[in-house]
DNA sequence: GCCAACGTTGGC
DNA sequence: GCCAACGTTGGC
């Protein structure tokens, strides 16, 4: 079994980690993605895959851990069959949120999508990057 | 199928 | 709030 990790970006003014956590086990459908690369990433997700929850625009930090709770399916917010969504649910807080600044300052994370593909809203994260960001954030595995 | 125009994202 | 980067659209 290959481990897969992801990163979900959200503007806290639109959908924050607090709101995501409030959804609890039910989770939330990650709708509104209108980018092929991001969609393809969602299509590659499997139930139980883990992801970081990143606050863009405000905060600019990884604040939480989520897991995939529903496989990709038609995005209900559009009629356009090109767009899919997945379900994600909050798993835990990142005790010490990892800022974009800290990520950029860490040579081990120089190839992270957050650094290289800043605008991609759903990104893959390598196992090594996952470990490193968890370590920085004080997340116990 | 190229590429200019346009719209959006997101860091600063 | 600005603006650079970049993905998407649409005319040709």
The residue extents of the domains of chain A are 5-137
> Which nucleotides along chain B are within 7 A of a protein C-beta?
9-12
Dihedral Cα A61, A123, A126, A97, nearest 10 deg: 10
CATH number of A5-137: 3.10.590.10
Q: For A3-12, write each residue's pLDDT tens digit.
A: 799 999 999 9
Q: Is the CB of A9 under 7 A from strand B?
A: yes
Measured distance between the N- and C-terminal CA atoms of chain A, rounded to whole angstroms: 18
Q: For A50-86, write each residue's pLDDT tens digit.
A: 999 999 999 999 999 999 999 999 999 888 888 999 9
pTM of the model: 0.94
């Amino acid at each position: 079994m290959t481990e897969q990790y992801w990163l979900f970006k959200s503007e806290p003014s639109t959908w924050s980690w607090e709101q995501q956590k409030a959804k609890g086990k039910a989770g939330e459908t990650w709708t509104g993605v209108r980018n092929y690369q991001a969609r393809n990433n969602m299509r590659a997700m499997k139930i139980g895959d883990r992801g970081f929850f990143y606050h863009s625009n405000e905060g600019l930090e990884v604040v939480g851990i989520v897991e995939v709770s529903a496989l990709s399916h038609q995005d209900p917010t559009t009629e356009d069959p090109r767009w899919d969504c997945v379900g994600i649910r909050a798993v835990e807080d990142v005790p010490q949120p990892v800022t974009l600044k800290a990520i950029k300052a860490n040579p081990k994370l120089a190839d992270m999508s957050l650094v290289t593909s800043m605008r991609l809203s759903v990104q893959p994260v390598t196992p090594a990057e996952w470990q490193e960001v968890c370590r920085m954030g004080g997340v116990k595995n």
